Structure 1
Amino acid sequence: MSQPEFEDGKGGVREDAPRFYGRRRGKRLRVQAQGRLEEMLPRLTLPEPGPDERLDPPSLFPSPVREVWLEVGFGGGEHLAEQAARHPDVGIIGCEVFVNGIASLMKHLEAKDPTPDNVRVFPEDARLLMPALPDGALTRVFVLFPDPWPKKRHAERRFINQDNLDQIARLLRVGGELRVASDDANYVDWTLEQLAKRPEFEWTAKALEECRIRPDDWPPTRYEGKAVAVGRPCAFMRFRRKA
């Protein structure tokens, strides 16, 4: 697969950009979805920071927020939109490169609040944003139903890896949570293995069976619905940032 270009804001390609694997576009958007995207996204977009730029997360939102959450790869946006509606005093940054998924989020937001003050969308790879955020800036990070990259030779492409966990550990404040969901048994095992290597995190469950029921404060996604429809069990794992 060829490497997509990452713009540096000047029409060039960022030399320090991590390699991205995956789709950026799917089926052509319908007229209504395209119009919604063009109207809403410019107000919500978080521009890509420069290589040495540092951001102040609370200042990214027009209204005061008591804490900031990050969702990596929000898919269709169901979870993000619902969390934003439930927690209007929490700033949520959603990262997603798939244009059709971003358009889906706009639809879900429009149904709740077409001009939310507590949502910012980073339409790029989350790995380009995380280094620009300060230590302890986040209280929750969500990685929900990421691409499992099931082939062994592709395991290094999985988002839950030691390099990204370095960043997440740095960004989460003590007591904050990393939430990971998957319906892929291998990815669940992989996640538990990767987090077991991290002394900064503690798993909030004692056994995997405790993670089979989605917590009430964890809105469902369409990926969960697809898994349930074909009888695949899901795991909803929470890892707390230790002192």
Structure 2
Amino acid sequence: MQNPQHSPIRSFGRTGGRPLSARQQSLVDNLLPRLRVPADKEALKTPLQLFETAPQTLWLEIGFGGGEHVSAQAEANPDTGILASEVFVEGVAKCLSDIEEKKLTNVRLWDEDVRELVAMLPDACLDRVFILFPDPWPKKKHHKRRIIQPDFLDALARVLKPGAALRFATDVRSYADEALHRFLQHPAFIWQADRADDWRVPPADHFTTRYEVKKLGDIDPVFFEFNRDG
């Protein structure tokens, strides 16, 4: 167990909200244990074997909110295994509902700090990562809690395959500026933009999230696409 004095700064806020409905609680109690990624580094040496049928590619979505992007991508890409991370129990319950309704077999869930999961994954195992509208921690004194930090980019670079894709999206100007700077400063990530529309217009394979619809940020959403160098 980690020494609390050396634990990483928490990059997320509350993990609970309104009480779950009876159906949601049943899904959390009965379906989540079957789909939860094991906190076992040995088991994660072969992450494709977490799925009923080994997928051809492996993706990771970090902080999936209500899970609508996860379920839409899983449905559109049945040969891809998706590791989906979210600590907010209501979001996990909503995602479980989509998984059950759509009969998805290619999603596995992680409901703890994603940095712990990434640390257990083997080198060069991921073909794609999504970080869509993470908690912006808007107050300047809280910026250190934002998930896009140099050490986390180091961790992602290790688990991404050469040429793998990473998509980061936000609707908070200060986070967009800070995150882009951190990605550009990191030698492992190559920004794929050639013109403004490459970050101002949602990518063709993007599925709109509930968060986007609320328009809570101070700018229109921006989408930064990177490839893992090498």
Q: Which of the residues 47, 60, 65 maps onto 1:57?
A: 47
Superposition map of 1:5-24 within 5 A:
14-15=2-3, 17-20=7-10, 21-24=12-15
Q: What CA distance in whole angstroms lies between the structure 2 residues aligned with 1:82 and 1:150?
A: 29
Equivalent residue for 1:210, pick from 184, 188, 198: 198
Alignment of 1:75-94 (within 5 A): 75-94=65-84
1:125 to partner: Cα distance: 0.5
Structure 2, gaps ≥5 residues long: none
For the pair 1:107 / 2:97, whether they are aligned, the reply is yes
Aligned counterpart for 1:227 among listed residues 215, 218, 230: 215
Instruction: Write out per-residue CA displacement over residues 34-84 of structure 1, whole angstroms, 9 at most, x where no aligned residue.
Output: 12322321211112236x875321111121211110111111100000111
Note if contact 1:82-1:219 (Cα within 8 Å) is conserved in structure 2: yes
User: Which of 32, 36, 46 is the aligned partner of 2:37?
Assistant: 46
Structure 1: how far apart are the matches of 2:73 and 2:155? 23
Q: CA deviation at 1:237?
A: 1.2
Structure 2 counterpart of 1:74: 64
- For the pair 1:236 / 2:228, whether they are aligned, the reply is no
2:129 alignment partner, one of 113, 135, 141: 141
Question: How far apart are residue 206 of structure 1 and its match?
Answer: 3.0
Normalised by the length of structure 1, the TM-score is 0.87
Which range moves more in the overlay, 171-180 or 28-37? Answer: 28-37
**Alignment match, 2:159:** 171
Going from structure 1 to structure 2, the CA distance change for 1:217 and 1:172 (only over 3 Å counts) comes to same
In structure 2, the residue matched to 1:33 is 24
2:173/2:219 contact within 8 Å kept: no
Q: TM-score, normalised by structure 2?
A: 0.92
Cα RMSD for the two superposed structures:
2.0
- Which residue of structure 1 lines up, in the alignment, with residue 88 of structure 2? 98
Q: Which residue of 1 aligns with 2:182?
A: 194
Task: Assess if the C-alpha contact under 8 Å between 2:173 and 2:218 holds in 1.
Answer: no
Aligned-pair identity in percent equals 41
Q: CA, structure 1 residues 208+163, in 2 after alignment: closer, same or farther (shift >3 Å)?
A: farther
Q: What does the per-residue CA deviation read over 1:9-32, in whole Å, with 9 as the maximum and x for residues that have no partner?
A: xxxxx4365342411101111122
Structure 1 residues without counterparts, runs of 5 or longer:
1-7, 9-13
Q: Tell me the amino acid that sits aligned with residue 37 of structure 2.
A: L
Instruction: Give me the whole-angstrom Cα distance separating, in 2, the residues matched to 1:119 and 1:97.
Output: 16
